Amino acid sequence: MQRIIVTGGCGFIGSNFIRHMLTQHPGLSIVNIDALTYAGNLENLRDVESNANYEFQKGSICDREFIERVISEKPTDAVINFAAESHVDRSILDSGPFVQTNIVGTQVLLDVCRSAKVPRYLQVSTDEVYGSLGAEGFFTEETPLAPNSPYSSSKAAADLLVRGYVHTFGFPGLITRCSNNYGPYQFPEKLIPLFISNLLRGESVPVYGKGDNVRDWIHVLDHCRGIEATLLRGKVGEVYNFGGRTELQNIELTRMLIKLLGKTDESIRYVTDRPGHDLRYAIDCAKAEEELGWQPQVGFEAGLQETIDWYVANQDWVERIRSGAYRSYYEQQYGERLA
């Protein structure tokens, strides 16, 4: 591959993916398309912005003309779609942007890629499309879709569009579905970065309900390696699940964070539960292991400690988000104010 387009590359996983790909594939050109919503932070890629193989284009995946222009500038070997509204709590407050970006934006990308004959399209989806598990069992790629939040419903709708384009048009689409990611550059509205940054500031941490919901945690670089493997070796039309085989109740994880940061259980604040809160996610990633030769490489304890260390060393990154100052970096670089 010579040129790929990554959408949503200024977010958490997209920025880690771009850095990973630039390091692993020195001849590869990467164009990052990002609308710079509240979750998009140009500072996440400061260290690669002078790399001759990296280019940033500000714009929305919902903007057909813009997407057509970027895709047709040079031959494009693949489009990897990370761009999304990604936070469940925000989708409960207002599902509008989720329908626009996650569904309409995906449809625009599919149409433009199809007419430009882009040879590979990878949709970055989520395990949340499978709904919620009870105490037993795992999600496989055959588990029926049963999304429970406006966020996961919009992601499932996008997956079904990809499926429909593959089936109807022979479109070269692939889908990945991953469990909860953690690692550097995660926006501090999600559990791990929110709790770390609150604890560092001496604040309490809001645990929803009783904290007995279970998530399956995977380091973001293991997810990035899974997307890379799917891009290089995945079969068109297939879905691949990725997970870290690390199931934890939220309260267990909260206590780990509290201990690692030298605080006490007095930091815990139990708050009203998230409406429709999925009880448990757990991924069976045997297919990715067998067909792609992928395996998670980062042990949870080491990965969590390394993540804490990153947030400790980068408290200014969090503070610039909390204060809104991170939004001015785009203006500094491009001379245009962000809305």
Residue among 34, 43, 127, 159 that touches ligand DAU (CB under 6 A):
127
- Catalytic one of 54, 151, 182, 240: 151
Cβ-Cβ contacts under 8 Å for 65 (sequence gap 6 or more)? none
Q: Pick between residue 76 and residue 241 the one whose CB is nearest to ligand DAU.
A: 241
The answer to whether residue 89 is catalytic is: no
Q: Convert 101-132 to b/e letters by CB count within 10 Å (16 or more is b).
A: bbbbbbbbbbbbbbeeebebbbbbbbbbbbbb
**What are residue 205's DSSP bridge partners?**
268
Per rule CB under 6 A, is residue 207 in the interface with ligand DAU? Answer: yes
Q: Which window, 60-68, 121-129, 228-236, 312-320, contacts ligand DAU (CB under 6 A)?
A: 121-129
Determine whether 94 is an active site residue.
Answer: no
Please indicate whether residue 127 is annotated as part of the active site.
Answer: yes
Choice between 81 and 267, CB closer to ligand NAD: 81
Q: What character string, x for contact with ligand DAU (CB under 6 A) and - otherwise, covers 257-286?
A: -----------------x------x-----
Nearer to ligand DAU, 70 or 253 (CB): 253
DSSP3 helix / strand / coil % (the chain, rounded to 5): 45, 20, 35
Q: Which of 19, 120, 190, 219 binds ligand DAU (CB under 6 A)?
A: 190
- State the Cα–Cα distance between residues 51 and 87, nearest whole angstrom: 31
Considering the rule CB under 6 A, would residue 153 count as an interface residue with ligand DAU?
no
User: Interface with ligand DAU by CB under 6 A: which residues?
Assistant: 86-88, 126-128, 179-180, 190-191, 194, 206-208, 213, 215, 250, 274, 281
